[in-house]
């Protein structure tokens, strides 16, 4: 884990092509003092790091984020308002040493972030 105690995975639900992770954010993490103390938000780069880490754990493989195809930050993630997030990973495609996926981060029907990312297996 790159940033200790930033989040915990509390639930995983999967089917043939999708994996749904329930993430619990640590609302008191020190990161929020710098991003931003009066109105804490989850930095975009940390959202991508969480995606990488849960995918690594799920696949039991070390990954390198090789290709961020597209990321849309639609709504800021405010940890005090949304301490639990749904990370929904769709279309996990493993081909040789490459992993490609689409993911959304949100709560219920509210989508905060959409991403299409390619990883290299280390």
Q: From residue 75, how far is each of 54, 55, 114, 116 by CA, in Å?
A: 21, 23, 10, 17
Q: Looking at the domain assignment, is residue 2 inside a domain?
A: no
| Any domain includes 1 | no
Provide the residue-wise pLDDT of the chain in tens; the chain has 122 residues.
Answer: 778 999 999 999 998 779 999 999 999 999 998 888 789 999 999 999 999 999 999 999 999 999 999 999 999 999 999 899 999 999 899 999 999 999 999 999 999 999 999 999 99
Q: How many domains does the chain have?
A: 1
Range of the domain at 38: 7-121
- Environment class of 59 (CB within 10 Å of its CB; exposed 0-12, middle 13-18, buried 19+): middle
State pTM to two decimals: 0.93
What is the CATH number for 29? 3.10.129.10
31 with 46: CB under 8 angstroms?
A: yes
Residue 37 lies in a domain: yes
């Amino acid at each position: 884990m790159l940033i200790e105690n930033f989040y915990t995975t509390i639930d995983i639900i999967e089917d043939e092509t999708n994996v749904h992770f329930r993430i619990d954010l640590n609302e008191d993490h020190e990161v929020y003092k710098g991003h931003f103390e009066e109105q804490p938000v989850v930095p975009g780069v940390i959202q991508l790091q969480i995606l990488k880490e849960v995918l690594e754990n799920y696949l039991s493989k070390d990954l390198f984020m090789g290709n961020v195809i597209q990321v849309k930050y639609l709504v800021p993630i405010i940890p005090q308002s949304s301490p639990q997030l749904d990370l929904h990973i769709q279309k996990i495609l493993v081909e040789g040493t490459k992993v490609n996926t689409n993911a959304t981060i949100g709560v219920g029907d509210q989508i905060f972030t959409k991403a299409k990312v390619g990883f290299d297996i280390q």
